Homo-oligomer: A and B are copies of this chain.
Amino acid sequence: MNGNVLVVHGGGPTAVINSSLYGVIKEARESKKVDKVYAALGGSEGILKENFMDLMEIPEERIKLLLETPATAIGSSRYALEKEDYEAMPAIFEKYHIRYVLLNGGNGTMDTCGKIHEACKKSGVTVVGIPKTIDNDIAITDHTPGFGSAARYIAATTAEVGMDVKSLPIHVCVIEAMGRNAGWVTAASALARKKPGDAPHLIYLPERPFKEEEFLADVKKLHEEKGGVVVVASEGLKGEDGKPVVPPIYKTGRATYYGDVSAYLANLVIQKLDIKARSEKPGICGRSSIAWQSPVDREEAVLAGREALKAAMEGQGGVMIGFIREDRVDGEYCIHAERIPIEKVMLHERAIPESFINERGNDVTNEFVKWCRPLIGPELRDFIDFQENI
Protein backbone atom coordinates (compact mmCIF):
# COMPACT_ATOMS: atom_id res chain seq x y z
CA MET A 1 0.00 0.00 0.00
CA ASN A 2 1.41 3.35 -1.05
CA GLY A 3 1.45 6.35 1.25
CA ASN A 4 2.36 10.00 1.21
CA VAL A 5 5.42 11.81 2.54
CA LEU A 6 5.43 15.06 4.46
CA VAL A 7 8.59 17.21 4.55
CA VAL A 8 8.94 19.94 7.17
CA HIS A 9 11.75 22.49 7.48
CA GLY A 10 12.67 24.04 10.83
CA GLY A 11 14.90 26.90 11.95
CA GLY A 12 17.40 28.95 9.96
CA PRO A 13 18.11 28.06 6.34
CA THR A 14 21.36 26.83 4.81
CA ALA A 15 22.62 26.84 1.23
CA VAL A 16 21.68 23.15 0.80
CA ILE A 17 18.49 22.51 2.78
CA ASN A 18 16.63 22.59 -0.54
CA SER A 19 19.06 19.98 -1.86
CA SER A 20 17.88 17.56 0.81
CA LEU A 21 14.30 18.24 -0.31
CA TYR A 22 15.42 17.47 -3.85
CA GLY A 23 16.85 14.16 -2.57
CA VAL A 24 13.53 13.25 -0.93
CA ILE A 25 11.60 13.95 -4.14
CA LYS A 26 14.07 11.93 -6.25
CA GLU A 27 13.90 8.97 -3.87
CA ALA A 28 10.10 9.15 -3.76
CA ARG A 29 9.85 9.14 -7.56
CA GLU A 30 12.24 6.23 -7.92
CA SER A 31 10.70 4.13 -5.13
CA LYS A 32 7.21 3.86 -6.65
CA LYS A 33 5.96 3.46 -3.09
CA VAL A 34 5.00 7.08 -2.63
CA ASP A 35 2.05 8.92 -4.16
CA LYS A 36 2.61 12.44 -2.93
CA VAL A 37 5.46 14.40 -1.45
CA TYR A 38 3.77 17.07 0.61
CA ALA A 39 5.68 20.09 1.81
CA ALA A 40 4.44 21.74 5.00
CA LEU A 41 4.61 25.37 3.87
CA GLY A 42 5.97 27.65 6.58
CA GLY A 43 7.51 24.98 8.82
CA SER A 44 5.90 23.16 11.73
CA GLU A 45 3.04 25.65 11.86
CA GLY A 46 2.25 24.51 8.32
CA ILE A 47 1.43 21.03 9.70
CA LEU A 48 -1.16 22.38 12.11
CA LYS A 49 -2.64 24.68 9.48
CA GLU A 50 -2.62 21.77 7.02
CA ASN A 51 -0.85 24.08 4.64
CA PHE A 52 0.34 21.27 2.39
CA MET A 53 1.58 21.40 -1.20
CA ASP A 54 2.26 18.30 -3.29
CA LEU A 55 5.63 18.51 -5.09
CA MET A 56 5.41 15.10 -6.78
CA GLU A 57 3.95 16.37 -10.05
CA ILE A 58 6.25 19.34 -10.49
CA PRO A 59 8.43 18.82 -13.59
CA GLU A 60 12.05 17.77 -13.05
CA GLU A 61 13.48 20.94 -14.65
CA ARG A 62 11.69 23.01 -12.01
CA ILE A 63 12.55 20.66 -9.14
CA LYS A 64 16.22 20.80 -10.17
CA LEU A 65 16.24 24.52 -9.28
CA LEU A 66 16.12 23.39 -5.65
CA LEU A 67 19.81 22.51 -5.95
CA GLU A 68 20.65 26.16 -6.61
CA THR A 69 18.03 27.94 -4.54
CA PRO A 70 19.16 29.41 -1.23
CA ALA A 71 17.02 29.54 1.93
CA THR A 72 14.07 27.15 1.97
CA ALA A 73 11.69 26.95 -0.93
CA ILE A 74 8.90 25.67 1.34
CA GLY A 75 9.46 28.08 4.23
CA SER A 76 10.46 27.46 7.81
CA SER A 77 9.60 28.69 11.28
CA ARG A 78 10.82 28.93 14.83
CA TYR A 79 7.37 28.14 16.20
CA ALA A 80 7.61 26.09 19.41
CA LEU A 81 5.06 23.26 19.30
CA GLU A 82 2.90 22.67 22.37
CA LYS A 83 1.69 19.38 23.83
CA GLU A 84 -1.72 19.70 22.17
CA ASP A 85 -0.04 20.39 18.83
CA TYR A 86 1.73 17.04 18.99
CA GLU A 87 -1.50 15.33 19.97
CA ALA A 88 -3.31 16.81 16.98
CA MET A 89 -0.82 15.45 14.47
CA PRO A 90 -1.80 11.78 14.05
CA ALA A 91 -5.29 12.78 12.89
CA ILE A 92 -3.88 15.29 10.42
CA PHE A 93 -1.45 12.74 9.01
CA GLU A 94 -4.23 10.19 8.65
CA LYS A 95 -6.44 12.67 6.84
CA TYR A 96 -3.75 13.19 4.17
CA HIS A 97 -2.60 9.54 4.07
CA ILE A 98 0.81 10.65 5.30
CA ARG A 99 2.85 7.62 6.34
CA TYR A 100 6.31 9.17 6.36
CA VAL A 101 7.21 12.43 8.07
CA LEU A 102 10.66 13.91 7.48
CA LEU A 103 11.85 16.84 9.59
CA ASN A 104 14.82 18.81 8.32
CA GLY A 105 16.58 21.04 10.83
CA GLY A 106 19.08 21.57 13.63
CA ASN A 107 19.09 20.59 17.28
CA GLY A 108 15.72 22.17 18.05
CA THR A 109 14.08 20.46 15.08
CA MET A 110 15.58 17.08 16.06
CA ASP A 111 13.93 17.53 19.43
CA THR A 112 10.61 18.18 17.67
CA CYS A 113 11.29 15.17 15.48
CA GLY A 114 11.68 12.92 18.53
CA LYS A 115 8.46 14.25 20.03
CA ILE A 116 6.44 13.79 16.82
CA HIS A 117 7.87 10.27 16.64
CA GLU A 118 6.58 9.59 20.15
CA ALA A 119 3.19 11.13 19.38
CA CYS A 120 2.78 8.99 16.23
CA LYS A 121 4.04 5.67 17.55
CA LYS A 122 0.63 4.08 17.70
CA SER A 123 -0.54 5.34 14.33
CA GLY A 124 2.12 3.62 12.23
CA VAL A 125 3.58 6.87 10.87
CA THR A 126 7.37 6.78 10.68
CA VAL A 127 9.21 9.99 11.57
CA VAL A 128 12.82 10.57 10.49
CA GLY A 129 15.19 13.51 10.96
CA ILE A 130 17.41 15.10 8.29
CA PRO A 131 20.20 17.11 9.90
CA LYS A 132 20.79 20.67 8.77
CA THR A 133 22.68 23.56 10.27
CA ILE A 134 25.57 25.75 9.23
CA ASP A 135 26.59 25.67 12.90
CA ASN A 136 27.63 21.99 12.66
CA ASP A 137 26.68 21.49 16.28
CA ILE A 138 24.62 18.30 16.04
CA ALA A 139 25.99 15.36 18.03
CA ILE A 140 27.23 11.98 16.73
CA THR A 141 27.28 12.83 12.98
CA ASP A 142 30.75 13.71 11.60
CA HIS A 143 29.26 16.96 10.26
CA THR A 144 25.92 18.36 9.12
CA PRO A 145 24.65 19.34 5.67
CA GLY A 146 24.88 23.14 5.40
CA PHE A 147 28.19 23.41 7.21
CA GLY A 148 30.42 22.67 4.19
CA SER A 149 28.87 25.50 2.19
CA ALA A 150 29.05 28.02 5.05
CA ALA A 151 32.66 26.91 5.53
CA ARG A 152 33.45 27.37 1.84
CA TYR A 153 31.85 30.83 1.95
CA ILE A 154 33.85 32.04 4.93
CA ALA A 155 37.11 30.57 3.59
CA ALA A 156 36.69 32.11 0.14
CA THR A 157 35.52 35.44 1.52
CA THR A 158 38.38 35.62 4.01
CA ALA A 159 40.84 34.90 1.18
CA GLU A 160 39.36 37.72 -0.91
CA VAL A 161 39.22 40.18 1.97
CA GLY A 162 42.75 39.10 2.85
CA MET A 163 43.95 40.15 -0.62
CA ASP A 164 42.13 43.47 -0.26
CA VAL A 165 43.64 44.21 3.14
CA LYS A 166 47.11 43.15 2.00
CA SER A 167 47.00 45.29 -1.12
CA LEU A 168 46.03 48.45 0.79
CA PRO A 169 47.52 47.67 4.20
CA ILE A 170 46.06 50.51 6.21
CA HIS A 171 43.85 48.76 8.68
CA VAL A 172 42.91 45.88 10.88
CA CYS A 173 39.83 44.17 9.50
CA VAL A 174 37.59 42.08 11.73
CA ILE A 175 35.24 39.64 9.99
CA GLU A 176 32.36 38.26 12.04
CA ALA A 177 31.26 34.68 11.41
CA MET A 178 28.01 32.99 12.39
CA GLY A 179 27.74 30.34 15.10
CA ARG A 180 26.84 31.71 18.50
CA ASN A 181 27.81 28.75 20.68
CA ALA A 182 29.91 26.64 18.31
CA GLY A 183 32.84 28.06 16.38
CA TRP A 184 32.88 25.66 13.43
CA VAL A 185 32.19 28.28 10.75
CA THR A 186 34.61 30.76 12.30
CA ALA A 187 37.27 28.03 12.41
CA ALA A 188 36.72 27.21 8.73
CA SER A 189 38.08 30.65 7.80
CA ALA A 190 41.52 29.02 8.26
CA LEU A 191 40.93 27.25 4.95
CA ALA A 192 41.48 30.59 3.22
CA ARG A 193 45.22 30.13 3.68
CA LYS A 194 47.35 28.86 0.82
CA LYS A 195 50.74 29.84 2.22
CA PRO A 196 52.23 31.05 5.50
CA GLY A 197 51.28 34.62 6.36
CA ASP A 198 47.96 34.48 4.47
CA ALA A 199 44.79 35.75 6.11
CA PRO A 200 43.20 35.05 8.53
CA HIS A 201 45.90 36.10 10.97
CA LEU A 202 43.86 35.56 14.12
CA ILE A 203 40.80 33.37 14.78
CA TYR A 204 38.62 33.63 17.89
CA LEU A 205 36.10 30.94 18.75
CA PRO A 206 33.29 30.95 21.33
CA GLU A 207 34.71 27.72 22.79
CA ARG A 208 37.56 29.65 24.43
CA PRO A 209 37.23 32.67 26.71
CA PHE A 210 38.26 35.83 24.86
CA LYS A 211 41.18 37.61 26.49
CA GLU A 212 41.20 41.27 25.52
CA GLU A 213 44.81 41.94 26.54
CA GLU A 214 46.16 39.05 24.49
CA PHE A 215 44.03 40.04 21.51
CA LEU A 216 45.36 43.61 21.58
CA ALA A 217 48.95 42.42 21.99
CA ASP A 218 48.59 40.02 19.05
CA VAL A 219 46.97 42.64 16.81
CA LYS A 220 49.63 45.23 17.67
CA LYS A 221 52.47 42.87 16.81
CA LEU A 222 50.88 41.73 13.54
CA HIS A 223 50.07 45.31 12.56
CA GLU A 224 53.70 46.31 13.04
CA GLU A 225 54.82 43.41 10.85
CA LYS A 226 52.21 43.55 8.10
CA GLY A 227 50.27 46.80 8.16
CA GLY A 228 47.07 45.00 7.27
CA VAL A 229 45.68 42.39 9.64
CA VAL A 230 42.64 40.13 9.19
CA VAL A 231 40.85 38.78 12.26
CA VAL A 232 37.91 36.37 12.12
CA ALA A 233 35.74 36.20 15.23
CA SER A 234 32.60 34.31 16.17
CA GLU A 235 29.43 36.32 16.73
CA GLY A 236 29.10 34.60 20.10
CA LEU A 237 32.48 35.46 21.63
CA LYS A 238 32.44 35.26 25.43
CA GLY A 239 34.76 36.62 28.09
CA GLU A 240 36.38 34.74 30.95
CA ASP A 241 33.21 35.27 33.00
CA GLY A 242 31.24 33.34 30.38
CA LYS A 243 29.27 36.43 29.38
CA PRO A 244 29.17 37.86 25.82
CA VAL A 245 32.12 40.24 25.27
CA VAL A 246 29.76 42.80 23.75
CA PRO A 247 27.58 44.42 26.41
CA PRO A 248 23.81 44.14 25.84
CA ILE A 249 22.49 47.22 24.07
CA TYR A 250 18.79 46.74 24.52
CA LYS A 251 16.34 44.46 26.26
CA THR A 252 12.75 43.88 25.21
CA GLY A 253 10.25 41.59 26.87
CA ARG A 254 11.27 38.87 24.44
CA ALA A 255 14.99 39.13 24.09
CA THR A 256 18.28 40.80 24.91
CA TYR A 257 20.04 42.42 21.96
CA TYR A 258 23.80 42.63 21.78
CA GLY A 259 25.92 44.74 19.50
CA ASP A 260 28.09 43.15 16.82
CA VAL A 261 31.27 41.40 17.92
CA SER A 262 33.11 42.58 14.79
CA ALA A 263 32.31 46.25 15.42
CA TYR A 264 33.15 45.82 19.10
CA LEU A 265 36.60 44.37 18.35
CA ALA A 266 37.33 46.95 15.65
CA ASN A 267 36.47 49.72 18.11
CA LEU A 268 38.76 48.16 20.72
CA VAL A 269 41.63 48.31 18.21
CA ILE A 270 40.88 51.94 17.37
CA GLN A 271 40.51 53.09 20.95
CA LYS A 272 43.18 51.06 22.72
CA LEU A 273 45.82 50.87 19.99
CA ASP A 274 45.01 53.97 17.90
CA ILE A 275 45.17 51.76 14.79
CA LYS A 276 42.65 52.17 12.00
CA ALA A 277 40.17 49.29 12.01
CA ARG A 278 36.98 48.26 10.31
CA SER A 279 34.52 45.41 10.57
CA GLU A 280 32.66 43.23 8.10
CA LYS A 281 29.64 41.17 9.05
CA PRO A 282 28.39 39.17 6.09
CA GLY A 283 25.94 37.43 8.46
CA ILE A 284 23.14 35.66 6.62
CA CYS A 285 24.84 36.43 3.27
CA GLY A 286 27.13 33.58 4.35
CA ARG A 287 24.44 30.95 4.81
CA SER A 288 22.54 31.82 1.63
CA SER A 289 25.38 32.04 -0.88
CA ILE A 290 24.91 29.74 -3.85
CA ALA A 291 28.11 30.95 -5.53
CA TRP A 292 30.05 29.44 -2.63
CA GLN A 293 27.88 26.37 -2.14
CA SER A 294 30.19 23.38 -1.61
CA PRO A 295 29.45 20.67 -4.20
CA VAL A 296 30.41 18.03 -1.60
CA ASP A 297 27.92 19.55 0.83
CA ARG A 298 25.21 19.65 -1.83
CA GLU A 299 25.69 15.99 -2.75
CA GLU A 300 25.67 14.95 0.88
CA ALA A 301 22.50 16.97 1.51
CA VAL A 302 20.81 15.14 -1.38
CA LEU A 303 22.04 11.85 0.10
CA ALA A 304 20.64 12.74 3.55
CA GLY A 305 17.23 13.42 2.00
CA ARG A 306 17.23 10.14 0.09
CA GLU A 307 18.42 8.10 3.09
CA ALA A 308 15.80 9.65 5.36
CA LEU A 309 12.99 8.57 3.07
CA LYS A 310 14.55 5.11 2.69
CA ALA A 311 14.64 4.68 6.48
CA ALA A 312 11.03 5.85 6.74
CA MET A 313 9.87 3.50 3.99
CA GLU A 314 11.60 0.65 5.81
CA GLY A 315 9.58 1.56 8.87
CA GLN A 316 12.56 2.73 10.88
CA GLY A 317 11.29 5.85 12.63
CA GLY A 318 12.82 7.77 15.49
CA VAL A 319 16.18 8.13 13.81
CA MET A 320 18.22 10.94 12.29
CA ILE A 321 20.44 10.38 9.26
CA GLY A 322 24.07 11.04 10.19
CA PHE A 323 27.39 10.80 8.38
CA ILE A 324 30.18 8.49 9.48
CA ARG A 325 33.59 9.34 8.07
CA GLU A 326 35.47 6.26 6.95
CA ASP A 327 39.04 5.79 8.07
CA ARG A 328 40.58 4.85 4.74
CA VAL A 329 44.13 3.61 4.25
CA ASP A 330 44.63 5.88 1.21
CA GLY A 331 43.49 8.92 3.22
CA GLU A 332 40.74 9.72 0.70
CA TYR A 333 37.64 11.40 2.08
CA CYS A 334 34.68 9.05 2.21
CA ILE A 335 31.49 9.02 4.26
CA HIS A 336 28.50 6.77 4.58
CA ALA A 337 25.07 7.53 6.00
CA GLU A 338 23.88 5.92 9.20
CA ARG A 339 20.65 5.94 11.15
CA ILE A 340 21.23 7.47 14.57
CA PRO A 341 18.62 7.03 17.33
CA ILE A 342 17.02 10.45 17.65
CA GLU A 343 17.29 10.52 21.46
CA LYS A 344 21.07 10.56 21.09
CA VAL A 345 21.01 13.89 19.24
CA MET A 346 17.97 15.66 20.71
CA LEU A 347 19.08 19.04 21.99
CA HIS A 348 22.73 18.07 22.40
CA GLU A 349 25.09 20.84 21.27
CA ARG A 350 28.46 19.84 19.89
CA ALA A 351 31.29 22.33 20.41
CA ILE A 352 34.70 22.21 18.74
CA PRO A 353 37.00 19.69 20.47
CA GLU A 354 40.11 20.97 22.23
CA SER A 355 42.41 19.26 19.72
CA PHE A 356 41.11 21.58 16.98
CA ILE A 357 42.07 24.80 18.82
CA ASN A 358 45.64 26.04 19.33
CA GLU A 359 47.04 26.58 22.78
CA ARG A 360 46.80 30.37 22.82
CA GLY A 361 43.20 30.18 21.63
CA ASN A 362 43.79 32.51 18.68
CA ASP A 363 43.87 29.95 15.87
CA VAL A 364 42.90 26.41 14.88
CA THR A 365 45.22 23.41 14.59
CA ASN A 366 46.33 21.51 11.49
CA GLU A 367 44.18 18.66 12.72
CA PHE A 368 41.10 20.86 12.27
CA VAL A 369 42.19 21.97 8.79
CA LYS A 370 42.73 18.36 7.74
CA TRP A 371 39.31 17.40 9.10
CA CYS A 372 37.52 20.34 7.47
CA ARG A 373 39.30 20.43 4.08
CA PRO A 374 37.25 17.82 2.16
CA LEU A 375 33.94 19.36 3.23
CA ILE A 376 34.39 22.64 1.35
CA GLY A 377 34.83 21.00 -2.06
CA PRO A 378 37.27 22.00 -4.81
CA GLU A 379 40.40 24.05 -4.12
CA LEU A 380 39.78 27.77 -3.90
CA ARG A 381 40.92 29.95 -6.79
CA ASP A 382 44.63 30.83 -7.09
CA PHE A 383 45.37 34.53 -7.02
CA ILE A 384 48.41 36.32 -8.40
CA ASP A 385 50.19 38.68 -6.08
CA PHE A 386 53.26 40.55 -7.28
CA GLN A 387 53.78 41.87 -3.77
CA GLU A 388 54.12 38.29 -2.54
CA ASN A 389 57.73 38.58 -1.50
CA ILE A 390 57.67 42.04 0.02
Chain A residues in the interface with B (C-beta under 8 A): 9, 11-13, 18, 39, 41-43, 51, 53, 55, 62-63, 65-66, 68-78, 156-157, 160-161, 163-168, 170, 173, 175, 249-250, 252, 254-255, 257, 259-260, 262-263, 267, 270-271, 274, 276, 278-285, 287-292, 381-387, 390
Could you tell me if B383 and A70 are in contact, using CB atoms closer than 8 angstroms? yes
Q: Which residue of B lies closest to A51 (CB)?
A: B390
Q: With A66-B384, A263-B263, A386-B55 in contact, do A164 and B284 touch (Cβ < 8 Å)?
A: yes
A274 to chain B, nearest CB (A): 6
Q: Which residue of B lies closest to A68 (CB)?
A: B381
Could you tell me if A167 and B65 are in contact, using CB atoms closer than 8 angstroms? no
CA distance A9 to B385 in the complex (A): 14
CA distance A260 to B279 in the complex (A): 9
Most buried by B among A168, A255, A279: A168
CA distance A161 to B282 in the complex (A): 10
Q: With A252-B274, A381-B68 in contact, do A284 and B41 touch (Cβ < 8 Å)?
A: no
Could you tell me if A167 and B270 are in contact, using CB atoms closer than 8 angstroms? no
Could you tell me if A65 and B384 are in contact, using CB atoms closer than 8 angstroms? yes
Q: With A69-B384, A382-B65 in contact, do A284 and B280 touch (Cβ < 8 Å)?
A: yes
CA distance A166 to B289 in the complex (A): 15
Q: With A160-B290, A280-B282 in contact, do A168 and B72 touch (Cβ < 8 Å)?
A: yes
